[in-house]
Amino acid sequence: MPEPRTVVIAAFPGVELLEVTGPAEVFSVAARLVAGDAPAYRVEIAAAQAGPLRTAAGISLVAGRSLAEVGGTGVDTLLVAGAMEHGDGRYRAVVDEEVVAFVATAAPAARRVGGVCAGVHLLAEAGLLSGLPATTHWLTAGQLAAGYPDIAVDPEPIFIRAGRIWTCAGVTAALDLALAMVAEDHGPAVALDAARAMVMYVKRPGGQTQFSVPLSLQESADDRIDELRRWIDDNLAERIPVEAMAARLNLSVRHFARVFRDRTGRTPADYLEAVRVEAARRLLEETPRSLPDVAAASGLGSVETLHRAFRRRLGATPAEYRRRFRPHATAR
């Protein structure tokens, strides 16, 4: 039988539990499904020191090897898990310097490298993402963009592949990332079988949004912007021109657009469409309302506009989205 591919998940004290165990389970399940003539997987957890490793959940894992023992050879797939810390009302990615140093040494020899959630920040610090597109958890996407302006940060996709470098969004997106890697190695049928074995409802495409648009924006230090957001949420079904938004803040349209982008990282028009799509997808998930009703209630107006916005932002039609997330409903 072929030698299994070695998957090393680099971790550190306080790491998010599922960012380690989620991918590990995917590769483990896939290994059991792969036919004997194809290489399966051997998964290892590595940390600065071998032995018990406390996670953010308070549950300890066991690192089978130290980072020094792993070195820079024999690793097929290197995944870097992450963690966040919370303070002053903000979440920030933890950057563990020992893991960063290991990644900088080991990554060049690995066939592919992946950053999981806030672990993407460690790839960035190791210099692996310069000039590349990348995603991460929406809570720390602003931190990543501000700290590494040479990275094209996109906070919406579940995962992004740029050659042999993969980055993914928060926590459960690690499962989607690992399944996509299995699909690359063994084909989509094996990946789908693994998803079914894990009772995952759908193997989501990487371009699917993280579905947290209002929350994923940069935090605003301006109470006026926060108040405006609440007003928008309460009036989505109405026509909301940029002039009306600017008037609520007693600003000219040009000055308002500049202030809004500085505070949120988006133009007013982009934000408005994003929250309307967010509202529409919740209606599709949670109610049996017809597509014309969903379009009207979310402020997108027409079914045609609803379709265009969903295609652009989610990579799926409203009907396809409803089938994925409300499988017993029928779009009308």
Q: Which residue, 216, 139, 211, 208, is CA-closest to 179?
A: 208
Q: Could you give phi then psi for residue 89, rounded to 5 degrees?
A: 75, 10
In this structure, which long-range contacts are made by residues 201-205, counting pairs with CB atoms below 8 Å and at least 24 apart in sequence? 201/324, 201/327, 202/324, 203/176, 203/179, 204/158, 204/176, 205/158, 205/315
Q: Report how far Cα 68 is from the mean position of its chain's Cα atoms.
A: 29
Give the pLDDT confidence score for residue 199 in this predicted structure: 79
- Give all domains of the chain, ordered by start, each with its CATH number: 5-197 (3.40.50.880), 220-325 (1.10.10.60)
Q: At 85, which amino acid appears?
A: E
- Mean pLDDT per segment of 10 residues, for the chain of length 332 residues? 92 96 95 85 96 96 96 90 90 96 96 96 97 92 94 87 91 89 88 84 50 43 79 93 94 93 86 90 86 96 94 82 61 50
DSSP structural state of residue 209:
B
pLDDT of residue 278: 85
Report the alpha-carbon distance of residue 87 to residue 75 in Å, rounded.
36
Provide the whole-model pTM: 0.66
Cβ atoms < 10 Å from Cβ of 148: 19
